[in-house]
A and B are shown apart, each in its own frame.
Chain A
């Protein structure tokens, strides 16, 4: 976590010692596991030492981390967002429809590309707002409220594309998934920037404290003047926006958009990353850095096992065990 603070340019703070240990301790275990994994691979997996391998791992994990960051915020308020995979599909389905049909505005070179990024992300954000409205205005449990778009959202993307795969070649648009400034994949940069901003927001702003207060004790937060409904709507919107961005990255990498597949199962990957990272699903506490670490652990275990010739299926089983173990260990530490 200390590293993240420096990324965000925060000044060092005075912490009471025990609290500092405990706060860091939440992610310490996960961090240690991550370092061990990296070390192991550096020593025993020759191919891991190449920049290409690093980039590959980071590229594969970037979309999960981006979505999981939004998920962390939602979970911190005591909610959950099952719709992220479907929202990725919606954004992914919408973008090619915008830039490949020669629509007005979208055919202007730079502006068109920017719009082709922003409009689908915005639409995903609006769907996030829909989730937020269900949770706040209609007081529907988050798991049910977002189940609605989980079920219906992918259908919307499928109906819009008639279930067809949209293949495209649009270098300007695909910058979002294929560019490599300074040799670093652009989505990795996006991921780090988003994680850094989110970690800073949770620590330094009112919004972050309100999110934790709502997850910790909603009636109390409301009586203390916290605008509960607005903050909740915001976290679902943020989750939607980030899911939209992740959807665009996925289709940009693939040069095609398949509404049946984009973001499939992402909700569970993201929740797993959050849980392994040490954010309890009950709300009130959150660690964005932990979520990044959690996603990296899952990714590294998977790639390590696969590179050792272990079948994908076995890797899945191992990851399942890791999730349980991580949650169990953190449960112990908390008590």
Chain B
């Protein structure tokens, strides 16, 4: 990695959207065969930068030099044909079509004008085997797990003889082992001289695989350093634009590390079984404590939450509230019993995009607000205003459509949707995923505050820091079973990871797990 001519040099990139200056003279320099991290808070301009590079957006000013040539890609397709491929966060392939079709879509090998299926399948297999992946390439993509789908996307990109592969949060839906596989592939690419731009919110991953890092803030490039030359805390500080000491003092999450005064038993679940996802989960939550729910993707975390909340049917097991058995046939029943559930995916299961902040915030409260089916507007308005103020929701007003809000503010509205019900138990599924660092801290301290006020919280999280700093106890799931419960005193990132990977008692039976978690 001599300081020879870089593969990619973007300089002075400026881009305005109506009313917003998205990029202001930003730059990005990626060397040949280099894995380059691109980090910044949401709204810092990372994705605008990438979209300008791939031709999805037009730039207002600045220059792009790629492989020694000034380039101006008109579309992602053109960028791809010139050697710049992009792997998106959500797998952008066609699920019903076969693996080989997905790799060759658009340039299928043909004989006499007709598609040569045999050759296509053979070549697809060869490409995948380079990455150590052996699958039946004739099966539909949707039958593979997300990690392999991600690999297929990469295989497709590489088969275009790409010189630069951009990965936009490729690990957000992968579990730890899958991430390891992905990193193997990235190292393989690097060996072959291919450069990678790696966008991720997970700091550990950056240190594991990247050579250099470019840090962006407020539409500008604020730093470009070797990964080894910057500590995690420095990195966060640069992203936030804060002093190092400030970050250190606050910690990286908004939680205050202190156990809460746990009160009486609130919810007990015993032997929960549901479909082929849950095979017996026990857990309990007391009033005023935060219980963490940890586990790898596919371990059944979300399914536990949904089963408790009545969103999925329970095949066996029982749930007690205040010591009495309850059966929730639908979320409405659970809500009536004082439970709230903030789902993982804001877009598909949280917000109603075209409804206003007011209607989104009070959606679950409507039965309380209404008399004879007619909604009391004054009461509704008062509650909405109260929560906008209390949670510091940044909005033009209660009538603004929720889709126009930032991710963090949307999440606050969704939290308010449940808080305005005065719930006794709040289930939070990845409450801070995809939210920028500032809003993240605010939401975390809010959760903390609520627990101190006597609310029972069951929090699912993939972020170990969130679990160790925020929770009084952590229940670890593996293959649909609760395999460990770690008390606050025993909480550490290592302990959680060990339990997620191997279970608590034995660390040697790692091959005994149940298969078939598709």
Residues of A within 8 A of B (CB): 13-16, 18-20, 204-207, 209-210, 212-213, 216-217, 219-227, 284-285
Contact = CB atoms under 8 A, between A and B. Distances in A.
B478 interface: no
A334 to B, nearest CB: 9
B94 interface: no
Contacts of B311: 222-223
Given A18-B396, A225-B330, 20 more contacts: A16-B396, A16-B397, A19-B399, A205-B374, A205-B375, A207-B373, A212-B355, A213-B352, A213-B363, A216-B353, A217-B350, A219-B349, A220-B349, A221-B352, A222-B311, A223-B309, A224-B364, A224-B417, A225-B332, A284-B353
Given A19-B356, A209-B366, A220 B373 contact: no
Contacts of B356: 19
A16 B399 contact: yes
Interface centre among A209, A222, A227 (most CB of B within 10 A): A209
Contacts, number: 97
B354 A216 contact: yes
A219 B302 CA distance: 15
Contacts of B370: 205-206
5 contacts: A13-B377, A205-B374, A209-B366, A221-B363, A224-B364
A243 B377 CA distance: 32
Interface in B375-404: 375, 377, 381, 396-401
Contact of B331 (A14, A19, A223): A223
Interface in B464-515: none
Contact of A220 (B330, B348, B377): B348
B296 interface: no
B351 A217 contact: yes
B423 to A, nearest CB: 12
Interface in B313-354: 330-332, 334-336, 341, 343, 348-354
A151 to B, nearest CB: 28
Contacts of A16: 396-400
A19 B352 contact: no
Contacts of B453: none
A71 B374 CA distance: 22
Contacts of A219: 348-349
B366 A223 contact: no
A209 B381 CA distance: 15
A219 B345 CA distance: 11
Contacts of A224: 331, 335, 363-364, 417
B450 to A, nearest CB: 19
Interface centre among A20, A219, A220 (most CB of B within 10 A): A220
Contacts of B354: 212, 216, 284-285
A51 to B, nearest CB: 37
A279 to B, nearest CB: 12
A212 B362 CA distance: 14
Nearest to A19: B399
Contacts of B336: 225
A219 B351 CA distance: 10
A13 B399 CA distance: 12
B496 to A, nearest CB: 27
A131 to B, nearest CB: 22
